[in-house]
């Protein structure tokens, strides 16, 4: 596989035409060949692979090329290159940070942007039976791995998790042993990289050989520097090369910063100005938004962006502007040097401490400031912003403030009238200053604000395109928006106190979200028609009886959400005009009766959710047109559903079929076998379901949920190729309190939770997979044979009841040790694997066991940490530990990070001989 990739890359290089087609591929074949034994693609083992090296060495490019070549052979895949960007906006609470990171990850990997992650078990629950390819690029904090890829058992057999970082300690902390250190290129490779960007070929043009070699030597070894320098010389004549060399020889040293600065200095003034905007404010921002923000600042924003991209100072990828962290740092240092001791005299303010000085009045902001970007989530203490904070900054155009600890106790007297972007989360005032002038404002984002109204009277809003006031729970009304004739997107989600809305500019509006605005007396009207409306969210309006008339006239509508409109009885006849509708969500519309009338067509629908529509008559329904485009169909929680609608048999591209909690569904029809692309079939809670069709296509399924299908009598023949089929695990998680015997289970199982199976005594299964995790909490009736089976197998992590460390743990101690292990091997191994056993006991008495059942504790050993969950008294925790061998004697001691509730009763170790 890897050799084929290397050949493909070689072919790309040999047939090179446009530069952008092979960005960074020089030497990539060699990198991927070295990655081959680490990836171990033919193995069902779950592997975490680290790619480590300094900034600019090519870690991202290596990971990107590997991802692009491999993703097609995985069920799910994601390349996350914005972890650091999003993390900077998170709150200081570690658990909340992890939740938001996991939500970002899950939304991307399952391609569901409204994915809700309510606890940190969502990722393993959803992915533990799926073969996934995950690339986490630019990881710089342990919390990112804790949230997204803490353990290999979170993912199904054959999964690969690739992590790139500058910090090798992260790999050590997370026991990532498969690490590829990216080496600097050889002299020949460095020349190839440089020539690729300067000449569009792998070798110098005739007559440039010596010049190219000297510039390559001056540019140093780092691929980023070679790329930037090559882009600088591209298209120059031989004489221009010669003229540049003296300055290169005198101003450059081995430091990459000097190389990058040289390329920056070669830009004209306007391109330098744009470079600083991106480095200090707009890195990782949408291209189209940046163009709109800066349209009055530059003659041609797009052309200037293209210049920076051609010189490799930025990239424009998937609609975003990206700038390498070193180039970003360079730009910020340039701005800092504009006024070293007076931050208020600089063009951009991005450092939290500098901004705090300016906003509190300790330092004065000046006309020089055009952008302020404050992430106050990083700072613990509250900050009281001066009421005159912005008075001196008359040229301020871009203001971003994130954090809920900023106060404006004295009010705010002034906001600069040149503002084009105003984003202030948790804005602490109830109203803008009366003199606010927003004539040039392009985007207003005030998520979670305390505002009750925005301003009095009518403001000129001719430039306003995007407004987001979501979660502003005190907001009661919006001002007249008649002058906002270019408003495209308006988000008011969960503005619970909002009573009325003004007429909206219909001709420009593309997205309107008023979901959860349950106090609205009436829906907004449109000035003009709503022909450009693409997305409309009207969810959670319990008093909505009929749809606004303009919905039927929104002929370009693609996404309509009416979930939880529990009094909606019917859809208008004009609903048939929505020929371009792709997503329709009617979840929880419990009184909806006549959705299936002769005007409704499903021909272009991709996603249809009718869950909880308990009044719908599904009998004999046949939609207009075919349903060939349908990919997701949710018919869950429909007690009236006695049989599956026949049209589903024609949905040949259906991937997700959800029939959960259809409590009167007895069987699935034979036509279910037509669904050759079905990936997820959820039938949990179908308590009367007796049989599955014999022709059901299990080969494509990777999620089959039969939880609480208590009447199910038989299963069809299951192919031995099925690895991600769970017929027991999901039911056990609910607590099968009458289950006495656990039958044989596929060896591919990676995670089992049999918690609270009070009657469980015997196991007819075995656990030979070293990566499986087993939870038998509160299974106190397990017989000795079952206990021995669980304890003596080589599982990754086990929890089960027990009062003492089993005797086969050859090194045991009361409390947490210490345990001394003498080694006789010659020569000594580099490291050793042990199985550890910890017995937890209560340090203090607790009247209620439930008080501590959900707790988790961290046990620390050998500079490592393991989380024990759930924390329960009189339970044993078994897990693997890895120890570096530095002498013939190893010393282990286990300690709990927090000891207010728990203590270690006993501990034990045994060498893990059978671990691969």
Does any domain span residue 17? yes
Same domain membership, residue 21 and residue 127: yes
Give the Cα separation of 437 and 459 in Å (integer): 7
- Rounded distance, CA 750 to CA 771, Å? 6
229 with 158, same domain: the answer is no
Which is it for strands 47-52 and 76-80: parallel, antiparallel or unpaired?
unpaired
Q: Which two tokens stand for residue 568?
A: 């909606």
Summarize pLDDT for 568-595 with one digit per residue, the tens. 988 887 888 888 999 999 999 999 987 7
Distances (CA, A) of 339 to 371, 373, 389, 456, 633: 15, 17, 19, 39, 59
In the block, tokens 């034979």 appear at: 670
3-state SS assignment for residue 458:
coil
H-only helix segments in 279-379: 287-293, 301-310, 325-336, 352-359
Residue 75, both tokens: 């069920």
* In-domain check, residue 204: yes
DSSP H/E element including 68: helix 59-70
The closest of 376, 280, 342, 265 to 311, measured between CA atoms, is 265
**Residue 200 burial class via C-beta count within 10 angstroms: exposed 0-12, middle 13-18, buried 19 and up:** middle
Give the residue from 698, 727, 756 where a domain finishes.
727
Compute the distance between CA of residue 651 and CA of residue 815 in angstroms, rounded to an integer: 61
Looking at 137, 162, 181, the residue that finishes a domain is: 181
Range of the domain at 221: 187-259
Start-to-end C-alpha separation, the chain: 23
Evaluate whether 545 touches 570 at the Cβ level (below 8 Å). Answer: no
SS3 614: coil
Residues 6 or more apart from 428 whose CB is under 8 A from it? 406, 407, 408, 449, 450
DSSP character for 523? P
CA–CA dist 345, 392 (Å, integer):
11
3-state secondary structure of 146: helix
Structure confidence by residue, pLDDT tens digits, 147-201: 999 999 999 889 999 999 877 778 888 888 899 988 888 888 899 999 999 999 9
> What pLDDT is recorded for position 848?
43
Residue 749 is assigned to a structural domain of this protein: no
pLDDT at position 509, please?
A: 94
Mean pLDDT value across residues 286-305: 95
Instruction: Locate 255 and state its tokens.
Output: 């430091």
CATH code of the domain in which 308 resides: 1.10.10
Q: At what angle do helices 187-199 and 223-233 cross, to 10 degrees?
A: 40
Based on the fold, state whether residues 7 and 109 are members of the same structural domain: yes
Better-scored residue on pLDDT, 393 or 73: 393
23/317 Cα distance (integer angstroms):
12
Instruction: Please state, for a pLDDT cut of 90, what percent of the chain lies above it.
Output: 36
User: What pLDDT does 698 receive?
Assistant: 56
In a domain? residue 360: no
What is the DSSP secondary-structure string of 659-726?
-TT-TT--B--GGGGG-TT--EEE-TT-TT--B--TT---SS-SEEE-TT-TT--B-----TT--S-B
At 241-289, the pLDDT tens digits run: 999 888 777 665 555 677 778 888 889 999 999 999 999 999 999 999 9
Question: Residue 426: which region, alpha, beta or left (left: phi > 0; alpha: psi -120 to 50)?
Answer: left
92 in the same domain as 9: yes
Q: What is the 3-state secondary structure (H, E, C) of 781-826?
A: CCCHHHHHHHHHCCCCEEEEECCCCCCCCCEEEECCCCEEEECCCC
Tens digits of residue pLDDT in 832-855: 888 899 998 887 655 444 444 447
319: tokens are 């609609």
Mean pLDDT in residue range 20-46: 72
What mean pLDDT, rounded, does the chain reach?
83
Instruction: State which of 727, 750, 774 marks the end of a domain.
Output: 727
pLDDT digits (tens, 9 = 90+) for 437-469: 999 999 999 999 999 999 988 999 999 999 999
Average pLDDT in the 726-737 region? Answer: 39
How far, in Å, CA of 885 to CA of 862, rounded? 11
- Which neighbouring-strand residues pair with 564? none
DSSP 601: B
Joined together, the tokens standing for residue 173 give: 């902390």
**CA-to-CA distance for 117 and 363, rounded, in angstroms?**
42
Q: What is the pLDDT of residue 4?
A: 45
Residue 86, token pair as written in the block: 């999003």
User: Do 843 and 883 have their domain in common?
Assistant: yes
Backbone angles phi, psi at 383, to 5 degrees: -130, 130
- The pLDDT score that the predictor gives to residue 697 is 58
Regarding whether 704 and 809 lie in a shared domain, the answer is: no
682 pLDDT higher than 50: yes
- Total count of domains within the chain: 5
Same domain, 202 and 284: no
Q: Is the model's pLDDT at 818 over the cut of 60?
A: yes
Same domain, 235 and 305: no
Does position 638 have pLDDT exceeding 90, yes or no? yes
| C-alpha–C-alpha distance, residues 906 and 819, integer Å | 11
Give the integer Cα–Cα distance in Å for 476 and 4: 62
Q: What is the CATH number of the domain that holds 834?
A: 2.60.120
Q: Are residues 131 and 21 in the same domain?
A: yes
Residue 29 has pLDDT above 80, yes or no: no
Per the structure block, which two tokens stand in for 849?
A: 């066991």
Residue 548 in domain: no
* Domain-located, residue 538: no
* Local structure of residue 204 (DSSP, 8 states): P
The rounded radius of gyration (Å) of the Cα atoms in the chain is 31
pTM (2 decimals)? 0.71
Dihedral angle sign, alpha carbons of residues 139, 85, 472, 360: positive
Does residue 722 form part of some domain? yes
291 within a domain of the structure (yes/no): yes
Q: Do 67 and 177 belong to one domain?
A: yes
Convert the pLDDT of each residue in 490-528 to its tens digit.
999 999 999 989 989 878 999 999 999 989 887 888 887
234 and 286 both lie in a single domain: no
Distance CA(355)–CA(365), nearest Å, equals 9
Question: What is the per-residue pLDDT across 360-384, written as a single tens digit (0 to 9) for each?
Answer: 877 778 999 999 999 877 677 788 8
Residues 37, 113: one domain? yes
* Residue among 515, 514, 553, 547 at smallest CA distance from 533: 553
CATH of the domain at 106: 3.40.50.300
pLDDT at 904 over 60: yes
């Amino acid at each position: 596989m890897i050799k084929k990739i290397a050949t493909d890359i070689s072919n790309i290089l040999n047939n090179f035409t446009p530069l952008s087609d092979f960005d960074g591929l020089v030497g990539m074949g060699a990198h991927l060949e070295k990655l081959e034994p680490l990836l171990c693609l033919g193995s069902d083992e779950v592997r975490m692979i680290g790619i480590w090296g300094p900034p600019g060495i090519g870690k991202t490019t290596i990971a990107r090329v590997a991802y692009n070549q491999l993703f097609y052979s995985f069920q799910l895949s994601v390349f996350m290159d914005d972890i650091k960007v999003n993390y900077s906006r998170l709150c200081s609470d570690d658990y909340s940070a992890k939740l938001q990171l996991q939500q970002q990850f899950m939304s991307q990997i399952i391609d569901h942007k409204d994915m809700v992650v309510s606890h940190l078990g969502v990722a393993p629950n959803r992915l533990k039976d799926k073969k996934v390819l995950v690339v986490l690029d630019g990881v710089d904090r342990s919390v990112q791995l804790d949230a997204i890829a803490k353990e290999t058992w979170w993912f199904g057999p054959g999964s690969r998790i690739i992590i790139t970082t500058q910090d090798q300690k992260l790999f050590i902390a997370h026991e990532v042993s498969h690490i590829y250190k990216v080496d600097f290129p050889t002299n020949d490779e460095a020349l190839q990289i440089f020539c690729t960007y300067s000449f569009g070929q792998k070798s110098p043009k005739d007559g440039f050989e010596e010049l190219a070699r000297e510039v390559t030597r001056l540019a140093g070894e780092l691929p980023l520097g070679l790329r930037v320098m090559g882009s600088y010389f591209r298209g120059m004549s031989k004489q221009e090369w010669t003229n540049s060399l003296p300055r290169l020889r005198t101003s450059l040293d081995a430091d990459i910063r000097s190389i990058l600065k040289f390329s920056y200095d070669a830009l004209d003034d306007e391109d330098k100005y744009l470079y600083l905007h991106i480095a200090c404010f707009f890195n990782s921002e949408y291209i189209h938004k940046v163009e709109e923000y800066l349209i009055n600042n530059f003659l041609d924003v797009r052309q200037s962006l293209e210049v920076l991209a051609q010189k490799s100072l930025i990239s424009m990828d998937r609609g975003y502007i990206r700038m390498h962290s070193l180039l970003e740092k360079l730009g910020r240092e340039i701005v800092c040097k504009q006024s070293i001791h007076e931050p208020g005299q600089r063009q951009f303010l991005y450092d939290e401490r500098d901004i705090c000085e300016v906003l509190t009045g300790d330092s004065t902001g000046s006309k020089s400031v055009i952008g302020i970007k404050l992430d106050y989530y990083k700072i613990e203490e509250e900050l009281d912003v001066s009421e005159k904070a912005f008075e001196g900054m008359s040229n301020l155009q871009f203001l971003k403030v994130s954090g809920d600890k900023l106060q404006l106790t004295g009010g705010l007297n002034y906001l600069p009238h040149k503002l084009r972007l105003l984003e202030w989360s948790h804005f602490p005032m109830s109203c803008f200053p009366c003199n606010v002038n927003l004539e040039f404002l392009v985007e207003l984002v005030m998520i979670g604000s305390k505002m009750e109204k925005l301003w009095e009277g009518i403001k000129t809003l001719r430039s306003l395109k995007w407004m987001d006031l979501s979660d502003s729970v005190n907001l009661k009304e919006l001002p007249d928006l008649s002058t906002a004739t270019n408003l495209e997107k308006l988000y008011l989600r969960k503005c619970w106190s909002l009573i009325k809305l003004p007429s909206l500019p219909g001709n420009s509006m593309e997205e309107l979200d008023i979901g959860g605005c349950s106090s609205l007396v009436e829906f907004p009207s449109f000035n003009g028609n709503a022909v450009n409306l693409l997305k409309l969210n009207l969810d959670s309006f319990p008093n909505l009886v009929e749809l606004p008339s303009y919905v039927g006239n929104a002929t370009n509508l693609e996404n309509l959400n009416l979930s939880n409109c529990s009094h909606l009885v019917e859809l208008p006849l004009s609903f048939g005009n929505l020929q371009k509708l792709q997503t329709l969500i009617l979840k929880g519309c419990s009184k909806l009766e006549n959705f299936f009338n002769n005007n409704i067509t499903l021909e272009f629908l991709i996603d249809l959710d009718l869950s909880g529509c308990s009044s719908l008559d599904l009998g004999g329904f046949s939609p207009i047109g075919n349903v060939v485009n349908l990919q997701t169909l949710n018919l869950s929680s429909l007690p009236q559903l006695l049989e599956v609608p026949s049209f589903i048999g024609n949905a040949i591209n259906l991937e997700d079929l959800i029939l959960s909690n259809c409590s009167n569904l007895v069987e699935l029809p034979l036509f279910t076998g037509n669904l050759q692309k079905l990936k997820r079939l959820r039938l949990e809670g179908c308590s009367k379901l007796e049989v599955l069709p014999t022709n059901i296509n299990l080969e494509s399924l990777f999620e089959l949920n039969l939880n609480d299908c208590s009447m199910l009598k038989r299963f069809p023949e299951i192919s031995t190729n099925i690895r991600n089929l769970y017929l027991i695990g999901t039911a056990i998680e609910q607590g099968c309190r009458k289950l006495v015997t656990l039958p044989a289970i596929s060896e591919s199982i990676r995670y089992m939770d049999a918690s609270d199976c009070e009657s469980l005594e015997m196991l007819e299964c075995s656990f030979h997979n070293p990566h499986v995790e087993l939870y038998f909490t509160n299974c106190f009736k397990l017989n000795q044979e079952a206990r021995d089976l669980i304890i003596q197998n080589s599982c990754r992590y086990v929890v089960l009841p027990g009062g003492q460390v089993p005797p086969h743990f050859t090194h045991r101690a009361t409390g947490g040790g210490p345990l001394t292990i003498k080694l006789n091997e010659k020569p000594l191994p580099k490291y050793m694997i042990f199985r550890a056993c910890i017995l937890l006991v209560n340090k203090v008495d607790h009247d209620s066991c439930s008080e501590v059942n959900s707790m988790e504790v961290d046990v620390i050993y050998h500079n490592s940490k393991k989380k024990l969950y759930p924390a329960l008294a009189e339970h044993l925790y078994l897990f693997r530990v890895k120890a570096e061998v530095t002498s013939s004697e190893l010393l282990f001691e286990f300690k709990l990070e927090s000891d207010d509730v728990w203590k270690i009763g006993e501990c034990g170790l045994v060498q893990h001989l059978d671990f691969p």
